Structure 1
Amino acid sequence: MIVTIRDIAEKVGVSVTTVSRVLNNRGYLSDGLKKRVHEAMEEMNYQPNEVARSLSRKKSNILGLIIPDISHPFFAQMTKHMEYYAYKHGYKLMLCNSLLDKKKEKEYIDLLRASQVDGIIMGSHTMSVKEYLSIKLPLVTLDRQISESIPYISSDNYRGGSLATQLLLRKNCNKIAYLSGNLQLNMLAKQRHDAFVRQAKGKGVEYIVKQTDMNGFQYKKYENLVRELFQEHPDIDGVFASSDMLALQVVRECRRLGKSVPDQVKVVGYDGIQIGGTEDLTTIAQPIKEMGRLAVQHLLQQIAGEETPLETILPVKLLEKGTT
């Protein structure tokens, strides 16, 4: 049986309006009355209707977050930081996992709007610009520039690609490869590829580019992609992978083939995630914590009617470790 606000009022012996004022902390109420109402709520296991409350006060204190895949460590760690900063400012996070499915993403946006969220952070981007602009809610995107009018936060992808490729070239690699997600997707991460190609061409070094299909977060496909790379180009001696997860798969494949890392093959990843296996991985570290903090901050600024930067590009850092 669902306990209502009327049930609480009858138990305490006050009006429904009084209980509502206690719930919303409005007007003067004695501490004794507040205590009695809260004790009755706990005893009867009363769960407030957050949607109804948000409608009454025109604010839900809930932020929506749509990401491509929560199982990917980069998005998992980013979500952790965003939840921390949102909660610190009195907000809760409603998490949606799109899996890069356009239909699913649209359904989640409809759900978030129906749930009266105060704003949305988008880490997934499968729909048209027109559809995003029609959301009519404060919006911030992560590592995706959907429109010139929608604020986005990103690491310096081009600089990161340059640092990774320059390192491989300094280590005298003669044939290098770039592994990435699908380059047809409209993502700022494509700048890592652009920087790789420019650096390789500039030094006249032979290079290979291999990419996943549109479902870029399926780890079994990482294994196939890396295996194909070494089958087709056994003389590869340097690899820049666009994520640490891809880079770890390169290291595993080298071990399987009996190739020594870093003596025969040097490997650089991208992200700077913290999971087992990355302790010795050379990588381009994104400021994941700061990206999460700013995503929440910029969204809250929009909610408050304040101006926020349309473009926020944060510096990356080369962490050279044992794989180079």
Structure 2
Amino acid sequence: MVIKLTDVAKKAGVSPTTVSRVINNYGSLSQKTIDKVNLAMKELNYQPNSLARSLQGKNTQLIGLIFPTVANPFFGELVERIEGKLFDLGYRVILCDSANNKEKERHYINMLAANKVDGIIAGAHNLGITEYEDIELPIVSFDRYLADNIPIIGSDNFQGGYLATETLFVKGARKIAILTGSQESNSPTNFRLNGYLSFLEKHELTPKMFQIQTTARSTTLKNLEIKHILETEEIDSLFCTDDLTAILVYNQCQQLKIKVPEQIKIIGYDGTKFVQNYFPQLSTIAQPMADYAEILVDLLLQRIQNPEKKLEKNYLLPVKLIQGQTT
């Protein structure tokens, strides 16, 4: 049985108009009346129609989140933090997993726009999606350029790459290699690569770069490539531009009887709760997850409340070293 607004009114002992006014926070009502209506809605499990509210020009209290995959601990933690903050502020989320698929992301953008969400937090890794330039919704971006009018919240990936390389150098490494993913000009991993190259150039060291462009679902192939690097390359340290890859490197070292950190030093990047809890021995560059969530939500709500408000184009947050036992 579908619960209607009139059912709520009957149970609360008020008129349907009063129920509508409570839902839309309109007009002057006593707290006693508001409480009666809210209790009736709760007992009947009545859900106000968000689409109907949007057609009336009202906020739906829905936020769209577009991220590559929550299977990755980094994005899983970030989405969890964002959702928690939005929930506490009275918003609910529609989570869209783009799976690094441009067409899938375009579909989700259009779906969110059609469903009249109040705003979007976009953190997908697909570049060159022009739909973001045309959509008339408040949007903030995590770590990626989407359009000139969309603010970007991220961390100093260049400094993070520099710090990771410096950490290996200070620990005595001189044959420092980097294991990276995407090298597209605006990707976070490319900025980390540039930080790595900058440090090596300053200290007149020769770079060694290895790129693995495999998906999260091809761990077997990734392990084979890592094994080949460890068996054939003359290196004394590896900077991995994400923690999951660093853990794979560590596991391969264990299988090959390569001592860490005596024979090879390893440093990762991200510093999620998952890694700190389940692999605390890994040295890593930690991103400010709590700050990301707070600023992404705050800026989006500013845009929702005042679409014309001028915001900075780029919000760059610092990273920090977590010293483990792999360096």
Cα distance change, pair 89–161 in 1 and its aligned pair in 2 (3 A)? same
2:168 and 2:35 mapped to 1: Cα distance? 66
Partner of 2:172: 172
Closer, same or farther: CA 84–36 of 1 in aligned 2, 3 Å: closer
Asked if the contact 1:238/1:267 (under 8 Å) is kept, the reply is yes
Q: Give secondary structure in 1 for the equivalent of 2:285.
A: strand
Determine if contact 1:185/1:214 at 8 Å carries over to the other structure.
no
For 1:45 and 1:293, the matched residues in 2 are separated by 31
Aligned position for 1:281: 282
Aligned counterpart, 1:98: 98
Secondary structure of 1:308 counterpart: coil
Shift of 1:114: 2.0
**Paired AA for residue 225 in structure 1:** E
* Further displaced range: 196-205 or 162-171: 196-205
Q: Residues 314 and 70 from structure 1, CA distance in 2 versus in 1: closer, same or farther, beyond 3 angstroms?
A: same
Q: Secondary structure at the match of 2:239?
A: strand
CA separation in 1, counterparts of 2:289 and 2:220?
25
Letter in 1 for 2:289: I
State the partner residue of 2:8: 8
Residue identity opposite 1:289 in structure 2: A
Structure 1 residues 93 and 221, CA, compared in 2 at 3 Å: closer, same or farther?
A: farther
- Equivalences for residues 76-91 of structure 1 within 5 A: 76-91=76-91
Deviation digits for residues 260-316 of structure 1 (CA, Å, limit 9, x no counterpart): 110001011111112244311111111111011111111111112232211111111
Shift of 1:77: 1.3
1:323 equivalent to 2:322? Answer no
Q: Distance in 2 between matches of 1:38 and 1:292?
A: 30
- Paired position in structure 2 for 1:298: 299
Secondary structure in 2 matching 1:140? strand
Structure 1, 23-32 or 295-304: larger mean CA deviation: 23-32
Distance of 1:35 and 1:285 partners within structure 2: 45
**After the TM superposition, which of the residue ranges 22-31 and 267-276 deviates more from structure 2?**
22-31
* Paired amino acid for 1:321: G
Conserved 8 A contact 2:214-2:222: no
Q: Which of residues 306, 311, 320 is equivalent to 1:308?
A: 311
Task: Name the stretch that deviates more: 259-268 or 41-50.
Answer: 41-50
| Equivalent residue letter for 1:244 | D
| Paired residue type of 2:146 | I
* Counterpart Cα distance in 2 of 1:160 and 1:150: 24
Matched residues in 2 for 1:179 and 1:32: separation? 62
Distance (Å, rounded) in 2 between the aligned partners of 1:289 and 1:120: 19
TM-score by length of structure 1 reads 0.90
User: Are residues 198 and 25 of structure 1, via their aligned partners in 2, closer, same or farther at CA, if it must alter by over 3 Å?
Assistant: closer
Return the alpha-carbon distance in structure 2 between the equivalents of residues 216 and 146 of structure 1: 24
Distance 1:251 1:16, change over 3 A: same
Q: Percent identity?
A: 38
Contact 2:177 2:209 in 1 (8 A): yes
1:183 CA drift (Å): 1.4
| Bigger Cα displacement from structure 2, 184-193 vs 295-304 | 184-193
Aligned to 1:250: 249
Spell out the pairing of 1:39-118 with structure 2 (5 A cutoff). Answer: 39-118=39-118
Change in CA separation of 1:40 and 1:143 when aligned onto 2, cut-off 3 Å: closer
In structure 2, C-alpha distance between the alignment counterparts of 1:270 and 1:90, rounded to whole Å: 33
**CA-CA distance at 1:199 after TM superposition:** 2.2
Change in CA separation of 1:3 and 1:196 when aligned onto 2, cut-off 3 Å: same
* Distance change in 2, residues 1:116/1:218 (3 Å): farther
- CA-CA distance at 1:207 after TM superposition: 3.1
CA–CA distance in structure 2, aligned partners of residues 167 and 35 of structure 1:
58
Name the residue aligned to 1:128: 128
Q: Over aligned residues, Cα RMSD in angstroms?
A: 2.3
Q: Is the 8 A contact 1:22 1:34 kept in 2?
A: yes
| Deviation digits for residues 30-64 of structure 1 (CA, Å, limit 9, x no counterpart) | 55654554454445443322222343352112221
> Which deviates the most, 246-255 or 220-229?
220-229
Q: Please tell me whether the aligned partners of residues 211 and 225 of structure 1 are also in contact (alpha carbons under 8 angstroms).
A: no
Shift of 1:29: 3.8
CA 152–217 in structure 1, closer or farther in 2 if over 3 Å, else same: farther
| In 1, Cα distance between equivalents of 2:316 and 2:20 | 45
Query: Secondary structure of the residue that 1:27 maps to in structure 2?
Result: coil
TM-score (norm 2): 0.89
Structure 1: how far apart are the matches of 2:255 and 2:119?
A: 47
Residues 267-276 or 6-15, more deviating: 6-15
Cα distance in 2 for partners of 1:17, 1:294 equals 38
Q: Label 1:25 to 1:146 Cα distance change in 2 as closer, same or farther (>3 A).
A: closer
**Paired residue total:** 323
In 2 relative to 1, CA 216–209 (structure 1 residues): closer, same or farther, beyond 3 Å? farther
Q: Which region of structure 1 is more displaced relative to structure 2, 63-72 or 24-33?
A: 24-33
